[in-house]
Amino acid sequence: MTDTTTTLDQETRHQAAPGFERAEMPPAIRPATERDPLRARIEDFSFYYSNGFQAIKHVDMPILDRKITAIIGPSGCGKSTLLRSLNRMHDLYPGNRYEGKVILEPEGENLIGPDADPVLVRLRVGMVFQKPNPFPKSIYENVAAGLRVRGIKKRAVIDEAVESALRRAAIWDEVKDKLHGSAYDLSGGQQQRLCIARGLAPNPEILLLDEPTSALDPIATAKVEDLVQELSETVTIVIVTHNMQQASRISHRTAFMYLGEAMEFGETNQIFTNPRHPRTENYITGRYG
Amino acid sequence: MASHPHLLKSFDDGLEGLRRSFRRLGDMAADNVTQATVAYLAQDEARALEAINRDLDIDAAFEQVRAECFDVLLRFQPVARDLRLVMGIEHAVSNLERAGDHAKTIARHVISTAGPAKPQSQDRQIKDMAGLVSHTLSLSVTALVTQSTELAKQVLASDARIDAYKDAVFDAALASLKQDPGEAQAHVSRLFVATALERIGDHATNIAEEVLFLSRGVPPGATRTRSGLE
């Protein structure tokens, strides 16, 4: 699936949207210095696919601790590519290349540095995808999987962590009596919350959500949105969404990306009421540029 | 950038319809200021009644624009400049509706004043003041519809001239009260009319501040300055 998406991204990214001609684009607006504590700093970050195509161009972005950061932008702008970079998902395909830094705070560890183990990075930076993708296993085993990767074997420890993750994902009451039933028997919305529980189980520092509600109905979407807001009290969240109302509802900071660049980053309220960059304004108001 | 059309044509149509309805309400309110003052100065009861009744039309137009604001908010969930425009109009219509109420107050003074008063020098000032106020109110509406900060600044600049007119009418009316106490009701009525016109000027100022908010995204209060006791 990642392979297909990558190909589509590369095709669409070569062409600017109508009115978004590259030559007339003013320079990006750099993020202001944040006073709130950071969980991560993306610094002069670029990403190249194995064919040499530069999908992300010198992005600087602060990720606030225990806050929700939304990344918006037209298809092919690089928002999902950036998200996947944060937990080294591109390492699964040889030839892909990162430049710059993704510094995890307060440790100061560079997640894309040569010393960082991609598998361990993925445990610290969890990911939930657009379509719910539970493993073909029981509900219990789906949540326990990340713990087992971490080397945890004690049954009691795993039991406790599974329950805790399912509770944090607000699905415990719905599944506590069928933990060993198939995850596939759950509804789409329940499956997505199960995937969130799976991401939460290893107790990550950052949880990445790639359009987590685009395949869900409004009721399931509302549950996931409420859940994401509750979770932001304990875990840092970065969400990619095409739904601008969703970004304005749930996020604290919003980044607008275009053609691989972070054109504007700011408080969500400011971005949606008084954006500084004309491209941001044109995109969020649904105008040609 | 704002001149670029939306991808959704019905969104542009909705905003254009809103601007049109707001302009119509503004024209009605400004025109009624003139008509009410003309009726007052001529002590023309029939004309005053027309102005009083026209306030009902202004109220109906006010409700219509507010309904259109809700419609646009509901259907298109505007953000950024579009959101500020809809919110600006939603605030501005209240100012126009209140301006209409003040025009009605002016017209009511024809009915409540017992017979035609002797013409006074301040009648000329009231006429000129009403002309300036009506023009300023229209200008504020145009400023909002065209999102022109230049016109908004002209409106803000007019406020001091309107206040000066009111002060001049007050000084003259108070002097006349002392000299000619038999015409007290007419003199006092001039004070009320000048006050009503001054308040209409304040509503135009409020609308102009909305225009500055619309263009800059800075809340209106930030453009005000402290000037001591007034």
CB burial of residue A167 (10 Å; 0-12, 13-18, 19+):
middle
Instruction: Give the best residue of B72, B76, B79 to mutate against chain A (max A CB count within 10 A).
Output: B79
Q: What is the pLDDT of residue B44?
A: 92
Q: Which residue in the set A19, A284, A289 is minimally distant from B80, CB to CB?
A: A284
Omega of the bond leading into A278 within 30 degrees of 0 (cis): no
Task: From A137, A107, A134, A139, select the one nearest A120 (Cα to Cα).
Answer: A107
Is A281:A275 a contact under the CB 8 Å cutoff?
yes
Average pLDDT in the A46-52 region?
96
Contact A62, A34 (CB under 8 A): yes
Residue B223 pLDDT grade (very low, low, confident, very high; cuts 50, 70, 90): low
Least confident of A131-140, B39-48, B57-66, B117-126: B117-126
pLDDT averaged over chain B? 90
The complex's ipTM? 0.76
Among all residues of chain A, which has the CA nearest to that of B216?
A274
Question: Is residue A219 classed exposed, middle or buried when 0-12, 13-18 and 19+ CB atoms within 10 A define those classes?
Answer: exposed
| CB contact at 8 A, B165 and B190 | no
Condensed to tens digits (0 to 9), the pLDDT of residues A211-226 reads 999 988 999 899 999 9
A21: closest CA of chain B, how far (Å):
14
Greater pLDDT, B87 or B185: B87
B80 interaction partners in chain A (CB closer than 8 Å)? 272-275, 280-281, 284-285
CATH topology of domain A2-284: Rossmann fold (3.40.50)
Q: What is the pTM of this model?
A: 0.82
Average pLDDT over residues B100-113: 90
Residue B73, pLDDT above cutoff 50: yes
Q: Does the structure show a pLDDT above 80 at B225?
A: no
pLDDT of B98 higher than 70: yes
A with B: how many residue pairs have Cβ under 8 Å apart? 45
| Least confident among A1-10, A247-256, B182-191 | A1-10
> To the nearest whole percent, how much of chain A has pLDDT over 90?
80
Cβ of B80 and A287 within 8 Å?
Answer: no
Mean pLDDT across A24-35: 79
* Cα gap B116→A31, rounded to integer Å: 68
Largest CA distance in chain B: 68
The residue that leads in pLDDT, A162 or A12, is A162
In terms of C-beta density within 10 A (0-12 exposed, 13-18 middle, 19 or more buried), how is residue A67 classed? Answer: buried
CB A286 within 8 Å of CB B86 = no
Is the predicted pLDDT of residue A209 greater than 70, yes or no?
yes
Residue listed under structure tokens 């002097």: B175
pLDDT of residue B113: 66
| Residue A273 near residue A266, CB atoms below 8 Å | no
Structural domain boundaries in chain A: 2-284
Averaged pLDDT score across all residues of chain A: 89
Partners of B82 on chain A (C-beta within 8 Å) are 285
Considering only residues A2 and B14, tell me which one the structure prediction assigns the higher pLDDT. B14
Interface contact flag, A286 B4, Cβ < 8 Å:
no
Q: Which residues of B touch A289 (CB under 8 A)?
A: 1, 4
% of chain B with per-residue pLDDT over 70: 90
For B79-142, the three-class secondary structure string (H helix, E strand, C coil) is CHHHHHHHHHHHHHHHHHHHHHHHHHHHHHHHHHCCCCCCCCHHHHHHHHHHHHHHHHHHHHHH
Residues of B with CB under 8 A from a CB of A: 1, 4-8, 11, 77-84, 217
pLDDT interval class at A96 (50, 70, 90): very high
Query: How far is it, in rounded angstroms, from Cα A197 to Cα A144?
Result: 10
